[in-house]
Amino acid sequence: MRTQIAFCSLFLFLLSCHVMAQPRIGLTPEQHSWLTKAYKFEKAGWIYLHIEGTPEERGFQHGYLMAAEIKESLRMLRRKWEYESAMSWPWYVKKAGEILTPKVDSEDLAEIDGIVEGMDAAGDTTTENEIVGLNGYMEFMDYWWPKVADSLKLNPSMPERESCSSFIATGDMTADGKIVLGHNTMGDYEEPFCNVIIDIAPAKGHRILMQTFPGFIHSGTDFFITDAGLIGSETTIGSFSGFDPNGVPEFSRMRHATQYANSIDEWCKMMEEGNNGGYANAWLIGDIKTNEIARLELGLKYFGFEKKKNGYFVGSNLVKDPKILRFETTEQETNIKLSSVARDVRWHQLMKEYAGRIDLRLAEKFEADHYDTYLNRIQPDSRTLCGHSDLDGRISGSGVPFDPWGTLDAKVVDARMAKQMSFYARWGSACGTAFSAKKFLSEHPQYHWMSGILKSRPSEPWVEFTAGEK
């Protein structure tokens, strides 16, 4: 019996290899050769995608292998946009094409065009402007659109949400004196999934391993490692107002900086050049070559920058630079009822309590933390580092109870792993709590419009990802 099973397994394996080796119908020999260098697989809720080569090559690989996921992301985003803005998706794409596309770096645009070409070869049609609009949806929908909506006197259903919890520590703060970084993404549950780990080996520049969305050339959630020894994350600056339509899109600056910077200072300089204020973030960056860490707070008119070899920085959407805080936000920095303030307080409590002992195990624990510093008790809600606004019956950070928003994942990395271009990640809530879309919509019918785009996320384990793994 065992012999028969082994024979059948071998036969199926050889058959799959034979099928994979066959030329894909309708592709040119050149396109087929590009695809032989790329691959994707699934692990613990994540999709791992490897692409390499020139901008057109890696874009084509991305678009072809991820065509179904990109198509679904566009469907979800279109539904969300048209409900919340009352404007059509073609109008959104047209405006993105007018404002964002002309400012995108030429190499980035070539990669986007490759994605369009790859999707078309896979049987799904899209356009350059639509993929630009997809890549820039955070800065366009959340920074450009509110100003337009105000001028039109609209009442868009787009409540402000504070997103992401992150820390970076080094020196006396960590167990081995080297850098440790942790980050979890907070976002709307009805938005496209950010469950892609992309390994990019470009023909020019540095190799990148980062978390991203289908169809993105940048990270979006902003957690990355490069073979230049740089690691990074960010948390959005809360209650921010500012956007310059003449500036360079944030997604293009982020990708360029991550691919070409050799140091923290270079990375930050590239992010500052042409800044449009879109997707304003507090970036936590580390360089494992020098054991330095830094925080870049990038507003529109003002920048805040600090760098050190001993200590820590934390991110919870509460900006620290006084000029950005006073001139570019409406943040109430002492109101501990707010998620940003409550989480900032919790970060400093954890840093103080575990100083000198921080490692990967504790980083995972921090990202899954459920202590509400306003209530002074453990209770997963909108104010905890591992956010669960969907469980919060009180008025949450977005202004509505039971908002389907919260932590979508968690990632941790230390200097040893970063040197090997690897990190640990967990898809779904950082604490492992599963989310059932069917159950949520049944209990909260006021969100009925999300039916068809709100998706469940089961509890998944922590797993390791490495550049080049198969």
Tokens describing residue 28: 């040119």
Three-class SS state of 396: coil
Residue 296 near residue 303, CB atoms below 8 Å = yes
pTM of the model: 0.93
In this structure, what are the phi and psi dihedrals at residue 40, rounded to the nearest 5 degrees?
-145, 155
SS3 letters for 442-463? HHCHHHHHHCCCCCCECCCCCE
What's CA 159's distance to the chain center, in Å?
20
Residue 177 identity:
G
Q: What is the CA radius of gyration of the chain?
A: 22
What's CA 469's distance to the chain center, in Å?
21
Domain 165-466, classified CATH 3.60.60.20, yes or no: yes
Q: Where are the domains of the chain?
A: 24-152, 165-466
Per-residue confidence of the chain (470 residues) as pLDDT tens digits? 434 434 444 444 444 443 333 446 789 999 999 999 999 999 999 999 999 999 999 999 999 999 999 999 999 999 999 999 999 999 999 999 999 999 999 999 999 999 999 999 999 999 999 999 999 999 999 999 998 988 877 765 555 656 899 999 999 999 999 999 999 999 999 999 999 999 999 999 999 999 999 999 999 999 999 999 999 999 999 999 899 999 999 999 999 999 999 999 999 999 999 999 999 999 999 999 999 999 999 999 999 999 999 999 999 999 999 999 999 999 999 999 999 999 999 999 999 999 999 999 999 999 999 999 999 999 999 999 999 999 998 765 557 899 999 999 999 999 999 999 999 999 999 999 999 999 999 999 999 999 999 999 999 999 999 999 99
- Structurally, at CATH architecture level, domain 24-152 sits in Orthogonal Bundle (1.10)
In eight-state DSSP terms, residue 277 is -
What is the distance between the alpha carbons of residues 90 and 370, in angstroms, rounded to a whole number? 41
pLDDT of residue 158: 54
